[in-house]
Structure 1
Amino acid sequence: MSDILKRGKYTLEFKEESIRQVLAGASIGSVASSLGIPKGSLGNWVRQHQRGQLGGQSPVSATPVSADQMEISRLRAEVAQLRMERDIGKKSRGVLCAGHAAKYAWIQKMKGRWPIRTMCRVLSVSESGFYGWQRSGKAPSSRVSDQRILVHIRAIHREVEKEYGWPRMYHELRGHGLRVGKERVRLIMQAYGIRGKTKRRYVVTTDSEHALPVAPNLVQRQFTASAPDQIWCGDITYIPTEEGWLYLAAVIDLFGRQVVGWSLKPHMQTELVKDALMMASLRRRPAAGLIFHSDRGSQYCSHEFQETLRALQIRASMSRKGDCWDNSPIESFWARLKLACLEGQKFRSHRQATATIMNWISFYNHRRLHSSLGYISPMEYEKRWHASQYKIAA
C-alpha cells in the first residue's frame, strides 16, 4: 500500500473500500487517518460516490489493493476505534458505576468530542434512552411494552444475521438498556416466530497424511488461560465462491476467544497460516513461551512455519490425528462463522466474500456475546480484565 500512497494513485477498489468504511458509520477524519490518505480526497470520493460519478484507475493499469492490504486498512481503523473507546473509558471513570441519568449527562457534556453511539456503547446505555432523556430531562420509564421490545428484537435479529436465540437476545437487550426478563423475551420470540440459526457440520480440510515432524499436545483439551496471549489456537477453513475456493486461516486467543490474526488467500499453502500468525504476533507482541495449538495439517508441520514459531519464541502444540475435539474452540468458531456468513449465501467473487468475512470477524470481536464469557464480547472481556489489573496495581 505504501507504494500506492507515495505515487498518489488509488485504485477504484481502494476508493470503494474507503467509502464503505465511511458509509458504515466511521467519520471521514478517522478513516482518512487510519488509511493514511488526505481527508479532502476521501471527502471528494464520498461526494462523487453519492452522485454516481466515482471514477478510478482500472485494476489493469494500477497496482491492485490485495485482500491482505484491505485487512491492514481495516486493522488500522479498528485500532483507531479501540483508542477512542479507551479514551472514553478513562474520561468517564467518575460515572461508570453511576446511574443512567449521570451517564446521560456526561454523554451530553462530551457529545462534541466523541460520537454519541460509541459513548453509549462504552457506558452500557442505549442511544434511544439517551435521546429520550434529552427530550424529557430524565431517564425513560423502566416498564417497556411488548411492541417496543419486539422492535428491538427484530432489529437485533437482522443485525446479527438471525444468529441469536433467546438467551443471547436477552443479554443483548439488557446491554441496550432495556429492563426485560428472560421468559418474556423467549415468549415474544416464540410468538412471532423469531428463531436463531442452528449449527451445521462442515467438511474437514486437514491434510495430516505426511511425513513431517509433529509437535506434542501441550494443551490436552485445557482450553482456558489466566491471562491474554498465553495460548493461541489456529486452523484453516474454506469459503466457496463463483471465482473458486477462498481459504481462511485464523488465530484465536483462548483467554477471551478473540480473533487476533487472520489471512484470506485463494490457496492453502504455508504462506496462508504464516501470514495469520504474523498478523497476530504484530498486533499482540506476546511474551516468549506462548503456546500455539493447531492440528497436524501439513501447513502447520512445515519447516517454514515451525521456523517462524521458533523465531518468535512460540511453543508448538498439536492435536491428535483426526481428533477435532483437541481443537474444539476454533472448530466452534468456524461453525459460528459459516452459520452467519455462508448459510443461504452465494459469493460472486473473492472480494465479496472477503468483505463479508472481515465484517463478521469485526462483529465477532467487538459485539458478539459469548456464553462462556458471561454474555459479553471478547473485546469487552479483555478490556474488563485489563481494568481489573489496573485496579490491583493501583
Structure 2
Amino acid sequence: MRVARNRGPGVTVEQVAADFGVHAMTLWKWMRRADIDDGVKPGTTGHDSAELREARRRIKLLEQENEVLRRAAAYLSQANLPRERIYPLVKELAAGGVPVTVTCRVLKLARQPCYRWLDVPVTGAEFEEAYRANALFAAHRDDPEFGYRFLADEARSTGAVMADRTAWRVCRDNRWWSVFGKKCGRGKKAGPPVHDDLVNRTFTATGPNRLWLTDITEHATGEGKLYLCAVKDVFSNRIVGYSIDARMKSRLAVTALDNTVARRQDVAGCILHSDRGSQFRSSKFVQALGRHRMAGSIGRVGAAGDNAAMESFFSLLQKNVLDRRTRATREELRIAIVTWIERTYHRRRRQAALGRLTPIEYETVMTPPALQAA
C-alpha cells in the first residue's frame, strides 16, 4: 500500500498490483480500509469491526444458552433425573443449531458420555434389560399373584436369563407386585403360633423318636436358589429325614416330614419343634402332623436360640459344604448336600456330646434291638 500511495506519475494502481502479484481490486480494498483506519475517510475501522463481530458472537452464544435453559426447564424441575433422560434434549437442540458443547456446558453434562449416547442411543445392556422386563411383565400379567421369585422362574423358562435379584429390581422399578403382597412397615407382626413351645430350649431326649427339630435353609447356585428342609432327632443328632426343592413352599416341609416318618415308622407322640415360619404354620403341615399322630411345637418370633440345636447343624453344613465353592447347578449342590449328610455327618463325624461316636454308631449302641429292627 505504501508503494501504491507513493507511486510515480503515470504509474497506476493496477501496475503496482501486478508487480506484487495481487489482484488490483484487492489492493484497492486494502487502501480504502487503511484510509478508514487512518481517519482519512469516514467508515467503520478494523478495530470496531472486530469488536462488533465479538459482540455478535457473544449475543448469539447468549441466545443459544437461553434457548437451552428454556427447553430444559421441564427436565431440570424433576429431582434426581438420570443424565440419560436429558441426552434426547441435547440431540434436539443440536438439530436446531445449538452446538452440543454449549448445551453440555450450560447443563453441566460431561461431553464424552453424551457423544457416546448420540452414537449409540440404546446399548445392548438396555436391550437385554427390556427383554427381561417384557418376560417378567408377561408372567405377571398371566399370574398376578406370583412374587418376583416365581416371575423370575417363569421368565427363565422362556429363555430370559436373570438372577432373582435382577428380577426384584425390575419388578420394583415397574411396581409389579403380587396381588397378595403387603407393604412392609414398622409394627408388622409374624403369624400366630399354631402350637405351644413344648421344648423351652431343652434339647435332650431319653430315646429316639421323642423329640425332632426342623428348619429350612436356602443356598444359591448358578441356576438359582435351592432350599433344604431337614429333620433332626435330638437323641442321636441324626438327620432322620430331609427334602430338597427349588421352591420354598409348604410342600417342602410336608415332604420332609413324610420322608422322615416313612424312614422311622413308630413316631406316634413324637414332638416336632420348629420356628414360626409360614411353612410350619400352614394347614397342610398341621394336617400332616395330625395324620402321623405327632405333637407340634413352635418357638418365639426372632428368638434363634429356641431352635439353636437345628441352627448348629445348618452352621456345620454351611462351613463344610456351601462355603467351600459355588455350585453351578441345583443338581450339583443337591448331590453335595446329600453326600455330606449321609457319608460324612452320619458315619464319619464324631461328636463329643455322643461320647465321641457318630450319630449312626450312637443309635446302634443306645437303641434296643427291637427298635433297631423297626
TM range (shorter): 0.3 to 0.5
Indicate the structure whose relative CO is greater, using CA pairs within 8 Å and at least 6 residues apart. Answer: 1
Please report the TM-score for the alignment, with normalisation by the length of structure 2: 0.47
TM-score (norm 1): 0.45
Q: Give the structure with higher Rg (CA).
A: 2
